Amino acid sequence: MAGHSHFSPANVEEHFEFSSEGKKRIIIAFIAGLVALALGIYLLSKGESGGHEVAAAGHEAANAGHEAAGAAEHLSGGAASHQANAEEHYDWTNRIWANVWLNAVFFTGIAVIGMFFVSLQYLAKAGWSSVVKRVPEAFPKFLYISLPILLAVFFFKGDVIFHWMHHGVTEVGSENYDKIIAGKAGYLNKTFFMIRLVGFGALWIILWNMLRKKSIEEDLVGGSEIFTKLVRISVAFIVIFGASSSMFAWDWVMSIDTHWFSTMFGWYMFASWHVTGLAIITLTILLLKDKGYMAYVNENHLHDLGKFMFAFSIFWSYVWFSQFLLIYYANLPEETIYFLERWEGHNKIYKTSEVLNIFFNFFFPFLVLMTRDAKRTRIFLKIACFFIISGHYIDFYQMIMPGVLGKHGGYGLVEFGMLTVFASAFIYVVSNELTKASLVAKNHPFLPEALHHDI
């Protein structure tokens, strides 16, 4: 029975103060990221990767890679040919755009999962989460930044990211004509893609604004009427998110490897987004607690968040494995190419991260969060958050980079700098949004229940 603090909820407000020193630190991190990025770009333009790229290892490795690519092509008929296509068009700036795309997709997911989490809690009429809900509620603010970035990159540099946007792939008679892609042109075309991005993106933002406004209004007014309205907004969002998360998974990530498809992909990307979002929610709460905020969030609430992370790490592994198993079992060349590329294609540069992907996202969280005590101990939760967040960055890296960059990918200053820039921007935006409402939703009807949460 820890946390038996008997304060009357309605009298308590707690405001997060975004100190000028905190701002300064985040801005310094942002600038450091920019510097690393600039340096990385400079090195790239000189033909060096600014990191450990295998291309630097010389032509021996490249030869082995050609063999692997040749084998792949032999296996898959025409499926690997677009890779060769990407080689011809390769320009060193592609790596920059690929990184922008990767981080924008990653952080859009984290931001929207904040909304998803809150909606899910309202939909389930969950009581325990009412003490923590203001934290995820602040996340979607970042959509204002990440969605326009996605739109801009797609509009101006889409042909770098997506094979299906290459010139002439759908024109009969063109030397680039590709029958498979032409068959998908009804869905994968520039206009429809933008309609989906703008349409669903706008719906996300509108619904979040409605929810946020009502939620803050609840602090002033109280009563159960607003709660009912919030449930309705949540229902609408869940329905829209159910469709849009899958479509965005196909659009933003799966269509990079245009020839390849997987019916598991919508779930797979949602699982990755969700568990990252949960880890970031937990980490934010832990860091706020370290600063002395949210004293009413006790180990019981942390236990629930830990269970969420544990469960959805396993869920992600389940989906990842299901996708892999079906492809492995059926052994169809046009499907196995996806894993072949990541395992032994491209001079094997993606093999390490493919292995790390499984260890960081399945084995480590599974073992770290297994016991009850671990889920109630802050340091173990933080360790798990670290693995999950970095692991899922790697996961998205694995989804996007091999298709966009092929053998020109790598982990270098560009990756590090771009991630730092996006992460510090995200932290800044979310911290700023957290200051705009009390950290405790003081008139939430279930708050007394949450304060006495005991498991």
**Locate tokens 């990440």: which residue?**
146
Q: Which two tokens stand for residue 35?
A: 């510097």
The DSSP-derived string for 164-204 is GGSTTTTSTTSTT--HHHHHTTTTSSHHHHHHHHHHHHHHH
Q: Which is nearer to another protein, 87 or 454 (CB)?
A: 454
Number of residues that bind another protein (CB under 8 A): 10
Alpha carbons 270 and 267: distance in angstroms, whole number: 5
- Given the complex with another protein, which of 172 and 330 has the nearer CB atom? 330
- Asked if 6 interacts with another protein (CB under 8 A), we say no
Q: How far is the CB of 453 from another protein (least distance, A)?
A: 9
Q: Is residue 321 near another protein by the rule CB under 8 A?
A: yes
The residue range among 110-118, 135-143, 178-186, 325-333 that interacts with another protein, by the rule CB under 8 A, is 325-333
Q: What is the greatest pairwise CA distance in the chain?
A: 76
Distance of CA 295 to the CA centre of its chain: 29
Among 59, 328, 352, 435, binds another protein (CB under 8 A): 328
Indicate whether 359 belongs to the interface with another protein (CB under 8 A).
no
Residues of span 200-219 touching another protein by CB under 8 A: none
| Phi, psi dihedral angles at 412 (to 5 degrees) | -145, -160
Partners of residue 412 on adjacent β-strands: 51
> Of 235, 325, 355, 367, which one interacts with another protein (CB under 8 A)?
325
What are 262's two structure tokens?
């997987």
E strand or H helix at 412: strand 411-412
Write down the least CB distance from residue 329 to another protein, Å. 5
Nearer Cβ to another protein, position 192 or 328?
328
Tokens for 420, please give them: 């730092």
CB 200 within 8 A of CB 244: yes
* Sign, Cα dihedral of 19, 133, 318, 323: negative
Q: How far is the CB of 405 from another protein (least distance, A)?
A: 28
Query: Looking at 8, 191, 263, 331, which residue binds another protein (CB under 8 A)?
Result: 331
Q: What is the CA radius of gyration of the chain?
A: 23
Asked if 324 is part of the footprint of another protein (rule: CB under 8 A), the reply reads yes
Which of these ranges, 188-196, 267-275, 319-327, 380-388, lies near another protein under the rule CB under 8 A? 319-327
Closer of 109 and 306 to another protein (Cβ):
306
Instruction: Using CB under 8 A, list all residues that contact another protein.
Output: 1, 321, 324-325, 328-331, 452, 454
